[in-house]
Structures are given as C-alpha cells and as structure tokens.
C-alpha cells in the first residue's frame, strides 16, 4: 500500500458528492439564527474595525479615491490563528515520500477542510447576495462552459461547479491512483495546479465577501489557520502563480511578515 493510499480514505476519497465528511469542530454547523448570537467582544472588534476602515476612507486625500481596508486585513483579525510558529516545517516533503503522493494527499485534505468551512456559510452565499463570483471589486471569476466559453455565474453556482469538478478529479483513479505501483499520469501536476487555483478562488471569495460570517461564528482563527497552511503549501511547491494570488496578496504579505511560512 502506498503512502498516499494509506491516508486517502480519510479525506473523502470514496465520496462522489461535493460535500465530503465534516472534519471541523461543532462551531462549523452554521445557521441564520446562530449568526445573531455572537460574543460582545467579537461585535466590539467588528465595530472598531469598521470604524477604522471608514476613517481611513475619510482620510484618503484630495484625489477622491477611497481605499477601504477589507475586514480580514483589520486588527485583530489579521493576526488571529490557532497555530503559532512556522508552517514551513509542516508542508515540507518528508524523507522517503514521493512528491506526487505528498501533493495528492494535501489536495484531498485541503479540499475536505475547505468544503467544511464553506458548508458553514453556504446558506448566505445566495444569488442575491453574490450575483457574481468575485474576490473584491474588479476581480471577477468566469466559468468556462463545455464549449470553452467564459460565462458569468452567481458565486454559489460557481462554487458548486468548482467543488463538483474537483471531486470528480479526486475520484478519478487514472489521475489519483491508489494501487501500489500505478504511476501518476504525466499531466498530474497540471491538473493539480488547476485544483489548487480553483480552491484559492473560493478562499478569496469568502475572505472578501463573507469574512464577517466567520467572525460571527467565532471560527476566524480556524479559517485563518487553514488558509495559512494552504498558502504555505502552495508557495512551497509553486502551485499558483503570482497573478492569481493578487486578490489576497496583502494577507499573504502579512502572514509572511508574521513569520508564518518563511
């Protein structure tokens, strides 16, 4: 049994649905009513952050341009994490482990965890709230349909399609082999990079549009820790290009400054 095969069952390998088994704490079970019950300290922090961004906008200068800092970049949220220390030691390839098996293992793990977090806030990702899949102003993601035509979709539809597509790839044993001695295909890295690129877009959409839901649920530290782990892995193995990372580059720069994956 290969290293990848010995772990793959734990990350939704056999599921054909886009929602693998939940792996997060009970706090991830979100509902509309639960959002109305939050700690006074969280609400106070949100209020202070909102005040800060409005003040920054008011001091933008005489050029009329308003620069509003996203909520996830405000203090104290940008520094909140379950883990202290350097993620680089976690993501590095262990001795005697095949690189492709290590990459495949993490593809399953990150997809499972991202899916769990999305489940927590998915009821708020409505066509009315998110008519387009975006990562902030000026960053829209288009879906390529079967005829290779780029189409604009509501965020919920785009993410549904994305998770279904990723799930289909992870379930394809010609791409992610689990039998001993069966090699990964020559195009494995190309597919893997596309999987990580699409997962990054979901991270970016949630950070820019739904981070307030994470705060109300009290799971922002869990969420930040997952993203730090994810982006540390991405950078270590060069899975997403710089242009694609731009919507969250300020956050990535902040995490690097904190020494999270240097």
For the cut 80, the answer to whether the pLDDT of residue 72 exceeds it is yes
HEC profile of the chain: CCHHHHHHHHHCCCCCCCCCCCCCCHHHCCCHHHHCCCCHHHHHHHHHHHHHHHHHHHCCCCCCCCCCCCHHHCCCHHHCCCCCCCCHHHHCCCCCCCHHHHHHHHHHHHHHHHHHHHHHHHHHCCCCCCCCCECCCCCECCEECCCCCEECCCHHHHHHHHHHHHHHHHCCCCCCCCCCCCCCCCCHHHHHHHHHHHHHHHHHHHHHHHHHHHHHHCCHHHHHHHHHHHHHHHHHHCCCCHHHHHHHHHHHHHHHHCCCCC
Residue 148 maps to a domain:
yes
pLDDT tens for each residue of 109-156:
999 999 999 999 999 999 999 999 999 999 999 999 888 899 999 999
Residue 26 maps to a domain:
no
Residue 247 maps to a domain:
yes
Residue 30 maps to a domain:
no
Short-list 214, 222, 199, 15, CA closest to 114: 199
For the cut 70, the answer to whether the pLDDT of residue 27 exceeds it is no
Look at the chain and count its residues: 262
Across 7-24, average pLDDT: 39
Tokens of 55: 């003040």
Q: How many CB atoms lie within 10 A of CB 96?
A: 6
Query: Could you give the number of structural domains in the chain?
Result: 1
CATH code, domain with 239: 1.20.140.30
pTM over 0.85, yes/no: no
Structure confidence at residue 262 (pLDDT):
63
φ and ψ at 157, to 5 degrees? -70, -45
Residue 131 maps to a domain:
yes
List the domain range (segments joined by +) for residue 214.
3-10+39-59+68-257
For the cut 80, the answer to whether the pLDDT of residue 9 exceeds it is no
Structure confidence at residue 29 (pLDDT):
36
Residue 138 maps to a domain:
yes
Mean pLDDT lowest among 60-69, 150-159, 173-182: 60-69
For the cut 60, the answer to whether the pLDDT of residue 61 exceeds it is no
% residues pLDDT > 70 (the chain):
73
């Amino acid at each position: 049994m290969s290293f990848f095969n010995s772990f793959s069952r734990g990350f939704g390998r056999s599921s054909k649905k886009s929602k693998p088994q939940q792996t997060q704490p009970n706090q991830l079970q979100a509902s509309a009513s639960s959002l109305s019950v939050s700690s006074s300290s969280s609400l106070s922090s949100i209020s202070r952050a909102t005040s800060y961004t409005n003040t920054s906008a008011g001091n933008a200068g005489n050029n009329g341009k308003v620069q509003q800092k996203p909520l996830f970049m405000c203090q104290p949220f940008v520094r909140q994490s379950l883990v202290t220390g350097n993620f680089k030691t976690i993501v590095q390839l262990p001795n005697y482990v095949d690189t492709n098996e290590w990459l495949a293992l993490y593809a399953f793990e990150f997809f499972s965890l991202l899916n769990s977090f999305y489940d927590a806030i998915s009821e708020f990702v409505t066509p009315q709230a998110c008519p387009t899949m975006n990562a902030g102003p000026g960053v829209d993601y288009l879906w390529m349909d079967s005829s290779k035509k780029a189409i604009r979709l509501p965020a919920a539809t785009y993410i549904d399609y994305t998770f279904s597509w990723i799930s289909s790839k992870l379930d394809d044993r010609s791409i992610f082999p689990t039998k001993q001695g069966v090699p990964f295909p020559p195009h494995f890295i190309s597919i893997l990079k596309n999987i990580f690129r699409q997962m990054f877009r979901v991270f970016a959409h949630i950070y820019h549009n739904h981070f307030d839901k994470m705060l109300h649920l009290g799971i922002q530290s869990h969420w930040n820790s997952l993203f730090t782990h994810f982006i540390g892995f991405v950078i270590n193995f060069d899975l997403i290009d710089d242009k694609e990372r731009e919507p969250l580059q300020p956050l990535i720069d902040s995490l690097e400054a904190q020494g999270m994956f240097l």
